[in-house]
Each structure stands twice: as C-alpha cells, then as structure tokens.
Amino acid sequence: MGRRRSGADPAFKYGTLILSSSVLVLALIYFYELYTGSVPTLRTGLGFVFGSIWDPVNSHFGVFPMLYGSLVTSAIALVIGVPVSLGVAIFLSELSPIGLRSPISFVVEMLAAVPSVVYGLWGLFVLAPLLRTDVYPYLERYLGFLPIFQGTIYGVSMLTAGIILAIMIIPIVASISRDALLAVPDSQREAALALGATKSEAIRMSVLSYARSGIMASVFLGFGRAFGETMAVTMLIGNTPLVSASLFSPGYSLASLIANEYTEASSAVYISALIEAGLVLLFVSFFANVIARLMIGRLIRSREAASYL
Amino acid sequence: MLESLSAQEINTMPRTGISVQTPSKMEVIGLNVKYGSKQALFDINIGFRPNKVTAMIGPSGCGKSTLIRCLNRMHELVPGARVEGKVLLDGQDIYGEDLDPADVRRRVGMVFQKPNPFPNMSVADNVVAGLKLSGTKDKGHLEGIARKYLERVYLWDEVKEDTKRSGASLSGGQQQRLCIARALAIEPEVILMDEPCSALDPTATARIEQLITSLKENYTVIIVTHNMQQAARIADYTAFMYLGKLVEYDETTTLFENPHEQLTERYITGKFG
Amino acid sequence: MNTRRVVVDKVLLSLTVVALVAAVVPLVSIIIDVTARGIGAIDLDFFTQLPPLANTQGGGMANAIQGTVLLVAFSSAIGLPIGLFSGVYVSEYGRTSRYGSLVRFLGDVLAGIPSIVTGVLVYTLIVLTYQSFSIIAGSIALGTMMIPIVSNTTGEALKAVPNSIREASLALGVRKWRTSLLVIANAKRSIATASLLAIARITGETAPLILTAGISTLWFTGFNQPVASLTYYIYYFATSPFTNWQNLAWGAALFLMIIVLGINMGVRVLTRGKRVYA
C-alpha cells in the first residue's frame, strides 16, 4: 500500500464528464446561435410575430400566418389525437386482456417509427384525396354552419395536415398516458368499484383523476411534437401564407416556412428571418417539453429505450 | 502495537478482557461515521486479532454493517458519508492521503450478504475475475488459480464437470462459496463477511461455517452476523454493538457465558433485538 | 343499477375499441399502400442507377442509398460515442449530483426538439460559415440529434445493472473506471438496442438534411459536398408533378420503411422477455 491514486480513474471520470457536458453545451448553443442569428429581424420586435405580410423581396417579414397555421394544425392534432390516444391508453391499461397488451403496444410503437416523410407521402396520395372526396363534403354539408367548415374544399389544407399530425402524436400521448394509468394503484379502482360504480365510472372517478398530471404532460409533449413537425405538414398544408377561419383552406406553418425557403434565402435579413422562425420553434417546443418533464419526470424515467421521445 | 495508541486512546477503549498488548492485524481508532446530520458510529475503538475469527453481533441498525464496510473503504461509496478516525492495517492508516482505495480492497477482501457472482461469467472466470479485471492475462496461470481456490472452498468436486457454466446457475450456497473463492483469489490478508449466511439454508450455512473455520489458518476473518449461535459456533472473539456504539468486546466464550455489560446480557438472553 | 348507466358504460368502453381501431388503421394502411405502390419501383435498377430525368423511364436511387448509408455512418460515429459516454457519466458518477440530474433533464428535453431546429442550428454554424451544403454538415446535424437520445437511453440501461455487480467488482480491488467498463459490458444488449433505435430514428429524418446536406444527383463526391439521401429524394419526388418520379418516391419509401421498421421490430422482438442486462 502507499501507492498514489491511479491516473486512469480521474481520466475516465473527467473524460466522461466532459462528454456529458455536451448536452448542456448543446442546449446553450441552440439558444445562443439562434438568437444571434436572428438579431437583424429581432429588432422589428413583435412585428415579426404579428405581422401578416411575408414579402422577402421587399423585406417584409411577418410570420403571423405561419404561426397561425402551426397553432391551428397542432390544435387539430390535439383535438383529434388526444381522445384517440386516451382511448388506446385506457384500453391498454384497464380493459385489455394481458395477452393483447404487447401486440397493441407494439403497433403503437411502430406508428412512431414511420418516418415523417413517409407520412407525408401517404398523406399526399392516399389520405388527402380520400378526405377531399369522401369526408370533407359531409363535414361541409352537416357542419357548414360553423365557420371552420365553410369555404372551398382543398385536399391539401390545414385540416388534412392536422389530421396527419393527430396520427403522428398518438404514440407519444398514448404511451405516456398508458404509463400514467398503469401507475395508478389498484386500490383506487377497487375503491370505486366497491361503491357500485360501473367500469367506466370507476375509470373516470379514480384512475383518470389520479393520472391527471401524467396525461396532461403527455398532451404537452404531443403539442410540442405537433408544433415542430416539418415534413408531413409541409407536404399537406398547402404552403400558402393565408390566415383563414376555414380549416379546408390551405395554410402555412413555421416549420414548413423554414423547410421551403432556406434554399431561396439570399439576403442576410431573409436568413435572419428564417432563423428567427426557428427560434420561435425552439422556444415553444423547449418549454412544452420542460413543462411536461417537470410534471412527470419519474414516469418517463422508467421507460425503456424510446427513440421517439 | 502499544506505541501507536496514546494514553487517551487506551482510556477510551471499552471494557475488554483482551490484553491490549496482543498485536492486532487491523485496528480501529476513534471511528465516527456520519451520513449528513445522522451519526451511524460513535467513537469506535477495536482491534482485530490476526488469524482469528472475530464476530460482530447486535440488533438491526446497530452499525455493524457500517463498521465492517469502513474496514475496506466500501462505506465511502455511500453518497454523503463522512468518516473520521483511523483504521490501521498492520499499523498503516488505510484512510491516509494518496492511498488508492482499490489497493486497500486488495488486501482486505469482502463477501456480501446476498451472493453476487458475475452473471455472465463462467464459474472459473468468476473465481479469477479480480485478477483478470486488474490486468492478469496468463491463461494457464489463471486456470490453475481457479482450480486452487475452488478446491479451497470445497466447490471443485461439485463443478469440475463443467467449469464453464454460468456463475449464476449454481445454488445459493454454491454461489456464496464461489464468491468466497473469488475473494480469496486476489490473496487478501483479511476477509470481511457481511452476514454471509443469512440468505442461505441451514445445510449451506453449515458448509460455509466449516469453511470459515478452516480459513483462519491463513487469513484474518471478520464476520458480521445477526445469528448469535453462529457467532458462538465459529468466532474466537465477539464484539457486541448497539446503536452505533461498541458495547463489549471479548473472547467469545467469555462474552456469552459471563458478559461484563448488562446490555450485552440482555441481548444474548433474547430480551431485545 | 339503472339501465342508463349500464348503457353509457358499454358505449364508453366500446369507444375505446373504436379509438384502438382508429390508431391501427393508419399504420396498416400506410404499410399496405407503401408496399403496393412501391414494390413496382424496386428492381435492380433501383439499386444501381442514378435518378432519372423527369418523365424519363428507368433510373434508380443508388446514390440516395449510398448517401443515406454514409450519412447514418458518420452521424453514428459522432453521436453514439459521445452519447454513450455521456450516459456513462450520468449513471456511474453523476447519479446524485445536481449536475447529473441537469444533464438527464436537458437530455430528455433536447431529445424532443424538432429536427428542423437542429437543421437551423447546424445551418448557422456550418453551412453559412463554409457557404455550402455538405455531407459533413448533415452528419453533424444528425449526430447532434443522437447525442441527447443516446445519452439518456444508455444512462437508463446502465442504471438498470444491479449495484451488486459494482460492489462485487470494487470489493475485489478493481478500479472504478474498470468497474464502469464491466457495468457497460453487462448492459451490452440494452445499449445495443438503444443505439439501433437511435440509428433507425435518424435514418428516417429529412428536415435537417434539407438545411445541411442538401441534395445531389451524383454519387458521393466529397465531404464538403452535398449528398443525396433517400428521405430528401422521397420529399423531392413526391411533391413533383412527374409520375415516374412519384413512383420512385414510393419505391424509396418502401425501402426506407423496410429498414427502419425492420430495425424497430427486430430490436423489440429481441428484447422481449430477456433479462434487462445482457
């Protein structure tokens, strides 16, 4: 005894420490670079966010239509996707026979594995035509008193983009909700059933309220995912900077804006505007994720390798 | 080791029938251990005799496991743990500056309560794991060592048909003997055992007790046990601990038949714990 | 129990099954459509020829396949090691420290950042600086996406290795760094799973490539040159008005799906019922 500490131990520890700091550094770089890159247009302040004219030729950069499109499509995704996801989650945790659980979870996970450009491709050639001919006309006929279902029907529109986003967020909302529901102790369910509640009443009474924060967190994550989705939306939203009350109308999203116009961006101001769009995306998704993770850090921790998170 | 103890240190040692002039293999002096604001060990002073089996007994939470883990610096792996005092091995403080805990652990080996052979290593590889992981490569040499220590723990005959089988495929008692062989293979001088038989059935326990008794010929053995009868069976010296303090330390027969402290007497007659 | 409650109950419960069907139908439809429409485009030419001109017969996706392979290889070379050792730190050294928790938390959050934002980042850092799209920029973008994902999933895989293995190793006098390597070896299977899933994920990415790697009609010509990729070509051809290009897009989609879904399915089948640590 009496030897000095081995050099390999500190080397390994500090080596891995430095590599792990890449995560922190990354987070900082994201904000720093996108901030400095958008300084020229940041000066226009809120005019960027609320201005409606996107006219690069004359240096007008208002992204309100794109912001509107991102928000509307994300909202549609949540309105359609969350109930479906909850239904799947409830089925998996409360109703499904044990043997069915794995196959169904498997299918849900496969939904997450499909590349978004393939969703866009399928949406463009299969879903959009189908919706335009078989679904939207009925929506207009029966629900046309609502402004959202009025106007000319386009296959490639905000509603179509919203629907495909709904499908894409199912995996994340369903699996986290399922975990939240599974975490509810059986005693809760038994208490409600012992009071004479039907199965659905028991679920509503005890399980759903107990799992509320987990489900809310999954909604936030779903929102973040939908808000930032690029390829499927770009291929299905129509890429027209319009602010329309009608969901049948084409629109634009922040992510699509960036994807479409990067190759054309010539002037420094133009590029700066696109970067600022990216900054908005960064902020929204970052905070949606932070809020969600704070709500249920522990629940997510126990998941296996989930590559789509 | 009289020279290493100050007068004050001698005065604070618990009442013991053992003459302090007999040399110790390991010596604990003024050991205090804290986790954050909680204190687990209070001023422990004890000397462990070479080539003897020393048992530490006491009710749950008395600190015996904490103490034994201080003897090979495993305790410092607990986050927030603070250790004050000295632990001497052959007169040298194992907590000295610049000392690599890994070196200490090579001289003071440990066997755990729940047998923990490495799951994806064979029986033979498990025995020599300590050597392989530290760089020894000579295959023939390692094979010889594996056999030697498997024989030493009376496991060789039971596994010789297939030493390539996974270490985890053995029975509980066999796994524990495998862990003992693994600890012996790095040739320590002291062997620490933290309740080595508590997860085993009586037959397996008996075999391991038999093994422990044979080990003291070459090693100094310190064993923590919650089973007083076990201490009475195999230990030369026994220390009784309660609430983080060393209450009494003496030759086993004396401690059990004629304890000095009332607390000791109440424990061994089953009045508590 | 009045009948109204019973009826409501049955209706609600069957709605969950409706939801289930609603979730499964799109996947089934996608798989069927991609297979049906793409299979015709997959022939020898697909794997050997460069993309054709619009409205021209023949041609293939050979350069796109090559580009995707190269992109994935380089990105993994960047993202996997950094992510792995970052995960090692979080699991073996940083479990109780605030720093370790911060890395874990940020890793989760960063993993959820839209891929196009990563594209914007690498665009500002590299493409603007060097004034060209390039495979290097694309690899850095995809690799950057991998880091937080791999860091957290390997961190979890390592944490799942029981502490008794670490204790046993340390008690034998094995040094901490060597013990950590032993823990990694024990988590081999989970780490491989996590890596494969991360690879499958970036193989299917398009948006970052639009801003970094660009697209090319040629074979790989150099690290600082743009490069073709399956995903970008699918996008480019699908949104074009030319049928021969659209057919190739379906073919590429089929090929891509086989690889990506194949990896995902293979990994999950392999890990079913197996021990958590290798």
Q: B-chain residues within 8 Å CB-CB of A4?
A: 98, 100
Percentage of residues in chain A having pLDDT higher than 90: 45
Residue B123 forms part of a structural domain: no
Residue C31 forms part of a structural domain: no
Q: Is B89 helix (H, G, I), strand (E, B) or coil?
A: strand
Residue C19 forms part of a structural domain: no
Residue B7 forms part of a structural domain: yes
Between chains, do C204 and A116 touch, taking CB under 8 Å as contact? Answer: yes
Residue C221 forms part of a structural domain: yes
How far is A156 from chain B, CA to nearest CA, in Å? Answer: 56
User: Number of CB pairs < 8 Å for A and C?
Assistant: 288
The answer to whether the beta carbons of residues A84 and C23 sit under 8 Å apart is yes
Which pLDDT value is given to residue A309?
36
**How far is residue C254 from each of residues A122, A138, B244, C41, C46, measured CA to CA in Å?**
11, 33, 68, 9, 12
DSSP calls for C13-73: HHHHHHHHHHHHHHHHHHHHHHHHHHGGG-SHHHHHSPPPPTT-S----HHHHHHHHHHHH
Q: Please write the tens of the pLDDT for every residue from A91-140.
A: 998 888 888 888 898 889 899 999 999 999 999 999 999 999 999 988 88
pLDDT beyond 60 at A245: yes
pLDDT level of residue A191 (50, 70, 90 thresholds): confident
Determine the longest span between alpha carbons in chain C, in angstroms.
75
Residue B243 forms part of a structural domain: yes
The answer to whether the beta carbons of residues C172 and B133 sit under 8 Å apart is yes
Residue B200, domain extent = 2-116+189-268
Residue B154 forms part of a structural domain: no
Q: What is the CATH number of the domain that holds B68?
A: 3.40.50.300
Residue B106 forms part of a structural domain: yes
Any chains having at least 3 CB pairs less than 8 A from chain C are A, B
pLDDT beyond 70 at A143: yes
Residue C1 forms part of a structural domain: no
The burial class, CB within 10 Å (0-12 / 13-18 / 19+), for C181 is: middle
Residue B124 forms part of a structural domain: no
Q: Is B108 helix (H, G, I), strand (E, B) or coil?
A: strand
A106 in C contact zone (CB under 8 Å): yes
Which pLDDT value is given to residue A305?
34
Nearest CA to A160 out of A191, A181, A133, A195 is that of A133
Residue C206 forms part of a structural domain: yes
- Could you say which of C165, C172, C277 has the minimum Cβ distance to residue B105? C172
Q: What is the residue whose two structure tokens read 């209450």?
A: B247
Q: Are strands B53-57 and B220-224 parallel, antiparallel or unpaired?
A: parallel
Between chains, do A3 and B94 touch, taking CB under 8 Å as contact? Answer: no
Residue C161 forms part of a structural domain: yes
Residue C166, domain extent = 60-271
In b/e form, how buried is each residue of B88-127, taking b as 16+ CB within 10 angstroms?
A: bbbeebbbeeebbbbbbbbbbbbbbbbbbbbbebbbbbbb
User: Number of CB pairs < 8 Å for B and C?
Assistant: 71
**ipTM of this complex > 0.85?**
yes
**Cα Rg, chain A, nearest whole Å:** 23
**Angle, CA of B261, B267 and B273, to the nearest 5°:** 140
The secondary element (H helix, E strand) that includes residue B88 is strand B81-89
Count of C-beta atoms within a 10 Å radius of residue B236: 16
- The answer for A 215-234 residues in CB contact with C (under 8 A) is 221, 224-225, 227-231, 234
Sequence-separated (6 or more) residues with CB below 8 Å from residue A300: A176, A179, A293, A309, C108
pLDDT beyond 90 at A193: no
- Domain residue limits, chain A: 38-301
Residue C48 forms part of a structural domain: no
B150 in C contact zone (CB under 8 Å): no
Number of domains in chain C: 1
Number of domains in chain B: 1
**How far is residue C151 from each of residues A164, B226, C23, C145, measured CA to CA in Å?**
30, 42, 30, 11
- Could you say which of B96, B100, B104 has the minimum Cβ distance to residue A6? B100
B75 in C contact zone (CB under 8 Å): no
- Could you say which of C27, C34, C207 has the minimum Cβ distance to residue A231? C207
Q: Token pair of B31, please? A: 């050991």
Q: What is the CATH number of the domain that holds C216?
A: 1.10.3720.10
pLDDT, one tens digit for every residue, chain B (273 residues): 334 444 444 444 555 555 555 688 999 999 999 988 889 999 999 999 999 999 999 998 888 999 999 999 998 888 888 999 999 999 889 998 878 889 999 999 999 999 999 988 999 999 999 999 988 888 889 999 999 999 999 999 888 888 788 888 899 899 999 999 999 999 999 999 999 999 899 999 999 999 999 999 999 999 999 998 999 999 999 999 999 999 999 999 999 998 888 888 888 888 775
How far is C90 from chain B, CA to nearest CA, in Å? Answer: 15
- Domain A38-301 top-level CATH class: mainly alpha
Which pLDDT value is given to residue B20?
54
Residue B40 forms part of a structural domain: yes
Residue B208 forms part of a structural domain: yes
